Amino acid sequence: MAMWLLSRRELQFRSRRALVAVLVSALVFGIAVAAEGIKRTLSNEPSAFVDSFHADGWVVPRDGSPFTTISVLPASMGAALADTPGVTSVHPVVNGRATIVSGTRQNANLIGYDLADGKGPALTGGRAPKSAHEIAVSSGTGAGIGDKLVTTAGTFEVVGTVDGMRFNASAPTILMTFAGAQRAVLGGQPYAMGFAVNGRPESLPQGTQFSSNEAAAADLGLTIKSATSTIDFITLLTWLVAAGVIGAIVYLAALEQNRNFAILRATGSTGKLIVGSLLVQSLAIAVSAAVLSVPLAFVIRLGMPMPSTLTADSFFRILAVGLVVGCLASIAAVRRALRVSPAEAFGGA
């Protein structure tokens, strides 16, 4: 009871300072949540992209991957694969990179895959590309159906849109016909970089291997591993900054309360009461900041050039982080408070 009363009154007494600590920490927490949302986006993209093909697996050059390798296989291998027992359908794939030069200049993923038979990524608008000059685009290209998209791989007409196909750090994807991609990426040579397979081939052509969707997504995720690790590190730093802000405020308050601690100890309060009071003050600031960071994260996300995926998990995690940060932030103040001698109560104001 005494601990709660003291904590509440101290926070009220220093409410302006506590408010500043809450606001600054909430901003820092909000940045951490939004950054974590970007990491989540980046981490989810590879599997979302690979899954969008609705394949059971991939036949790729040995030690290769359908979307990161530059090794090639004869496109004619597709026909042989289709006849292999266990295989129900085969679709050749070519991948490459291009730079969009119309509008905002930016890199884009270029995927050659025939949508004509209804397999593969689902269209969210328009129709499937039918010729080498037609493409479907994901979000982020700045082009819509009917627009011309000028790229370093050629000029194309947008005839359809697809969803969930951004990868390589949210770069937009240009989906074209297989033949169109062969021409744009491989100079028209009759090669494929892999085959999307439905079913499970009982045997594989020489020089190839079967790659699961998970393996394909994991391979694709390697390209952004350093980026996600960097985000993790920056997130950790932001938590430390929040701990520092709250810790500084609580420590300052503890310094000002030295005489109070001496009085409390002289009048029979235990060290637990004093420690508990500081801990409660620190946790109250940290948890308030964590709660306030939720709406702030949504605002911060609006200003971010990359999509940030905010989920309930993020907010539960930031609450947990708030509790940990609050405990860490109170350590210096608690150490200081426990060093105060009750004899200090004897002294003029």
Partner 1 sequence: MAVVSIRDLVVEYSSGGYAARPFDHFDLELESGELVVLLGASGCGKSTLLSILGSLLAPTAGSVQIDGQEITHLGGKDLIEYRRHTVGFVFQGFNLIPSLSARENVEMPMLAAGEAKQAARARAEELLALVDLTNRSHHKPGAMSGGQQQRVAIARAIAMSPKLVLADEPTASLDYVQVDGVLRHLRDLAAPGRTVVIATHDERLLPLADRVVELTPKADRAAGRQPERIELAAGQELFRQGDAGELVYEVESGAIVIARELAGGGEEILQIVEPGGYFGELAPMFGLQRAASARGGDVPTVVTGYTLRDFRGRQSTGL
The residues binding partner 1 (CB under 8 A) are 1-2, 5-6, 9-10, 12-14, 259-260, 263-270, 273, 341-343, 345-349
Closest CB to partner 1 among residues 148, 259: 259
Closest separation between CB of residue 274 and partner 1, Å?
10
Residue 346 CB, nearest distance to partner 1 (Å)?
Answer: 4
State which residue, 1 or 302, has the beta carbon closest to partner 1: 1
Tokens 């394909």, residue?
216
Indicate the residue among 12 and 206 with the shorter CB distance to partner 1: 12
Task: Output phi, psi for 131, to 5 deg.
Answer: -125, 175
Q: Which is nearer to partner 1, 47 or 269 (CB)?
A: 269
In the complex with partner 1, the residue whose CB is nearer, 302 or 349, is 349
Task: State the nearest-atom distance from the C-beta of 335 to partner 1, in Å.
Answer: 20
**Beta carbon nearer to partner 1, 215 or 263:** 263
Please identify, using beta-carbon distances, which residue of 248 and 345 lies nearer to partner 1: 345
Least distance CB 271 / partner 1 (angstroms): 9
Distance of closest approach, residue 263 Cβ to partner 1, in angstroms: 5
Cβ atoms within 10 Å, residue 97: 15
- Give the nearest distance from C-beta 246 to partner 1 in angstroms: 19
Instruction: Using the minimum distance from each CB to partner 1, give the nearer residue, 225 or 259.
Output: 259
CA–CA distance from 273 to each of 3, 149, 332 (Å)? 5, 68, 16
Nearer to partner 1, 218 or 263 (CB): 263
Instruction: Please report how close the Cβ of residue 342 comes to partner 1 at its closest, in angstroms.
Output: 5
Phi, psi (deg, nearest 5) at residue 50: -65, -45
3-state secondary structure the chain: CHHHHHHHHHHHHCHHHHHHHHHHHHHHHHHHHHHHHHHHHHHHHHHHHHHCCCCCEEEEECCCCCCCCCCCEECCHHHHHHCCCCEEEEEEEEEEEEEECCCCCEEEEEEECCCCCCCCCCEEEECCCCCCCEEEECCCCCCCCCCEEEECCEEEEEEEEECCCCECCCECEEEECHHHHHHHHHCCCCEECEEEEEECCCCCCCCEEEECHHHHHHHHHHHHHHHHHHHHHHHHHHHHHHHHHHHHHHHHHHHHCHHHHHHHHHCCCCHHHHHHHHHHHHHHHHHHHHHHHHHHHHHHHHCCCCCCCCCHHHHHHHHHHHHHHHHHHHHHHHHHHHCCCHHHHCCCC
Least distance from partner 1 to the Cβ atom of residue 304, Å: 41
Q: How far is the CB of 260 from partner 1 (least distance, A)?
A: 5
Task: Report which of 316, 338, 318, 315 is spatially closest to residue 326, judged by C-alpha positions.
Answer: 318
